[in-house]
Chain A
Amino acid sequence: DGGITQSPKYLFRKEGQNVTLSCEQNLNHDAMYWYRQDPGQGLRLIYYSQIVNDFQKGDIAEGYSVSREKKESFPLTVTSAQKNPTAFYLCASSLSTGGPYPLHFGNGTRLTVT
């Protein structure tokens, strides 16, 4: 079955360490996204990518970085510069960024930084 795989499901890190969250899709979608979810705040867009080797900042990109070297993969690095990194991170994909296409989501990674 086609879908989006995020790993790991739970991640624990010490403050000051960078950490990379994995996201892989086999839906053959061009567009991929990273969202952050905090209780009562809905979803906030961190980064998105329309094509390989191109990505754009979303609403809360500070302290995060991404790469898109392959169509299927869009890893997110949470750097030590992110002031409040503990959150639920969701990866998504869609046919394209320019149309009214629904997003397909992975099951998320819950990051806890202490």
Chain B
Amino acid sequence: AQSVTQLDSHVSVSEGTPVLLRCNYSSSYSPSLFWYVQHPNKGLQLLLKYTSAATLVKGINGFEAEFKKSETSFHLTKPSAHMSDAAEYFCVVTDQTAGGTSYGKLTFGQGTILTVHP
């Protein structure tokens, strides 16, 4: 069974300081992981995805995430926060099925609201 836990419901940073949004997952086989961003009253936009290639994944808007199998983590980082980064962020996991021929449904984390102070 797969699951995902976003460890912080709210994160607050100052503009220009680093951002760290934490995500832990569980899976039985070989997971793929995604980070999405959602601005108020908008749909979700894909930031980046991990699909068993390089463990350090670079995404849009300067975000990156590192897949750490030993820690079952996929934390999202950005070196320097911008005011426009204020939004809600979702970590998402999908696991291979038992036969390894396909993937199951996506499981969404509860979301982390990022606030950026001037």
Contact = CB atoms under 8 A, between A and B. Distances in A.
A7 to B, nearest CB: 13
Contacts of A99: 102-103
Interface in A11-50: 40-43, 45, 48
A43 B94 contact: no
Interface of A: 4, 6, 9, 40-43, 45, 48, 58, 88, 90, 92, 97-100, 102-108, 110
Interface in B35-60: 41-46, 49, 51
B103 A98 contact: yes
A108 B110 contact: no
Given A42-B111, A43-B90, A108 B41 contact: yes
A92 to B, nearest CB: 8
Contacts of B51: 100
Contact of A42 (B41, B43, B46, B109): B109
B42 A107 contact: yes
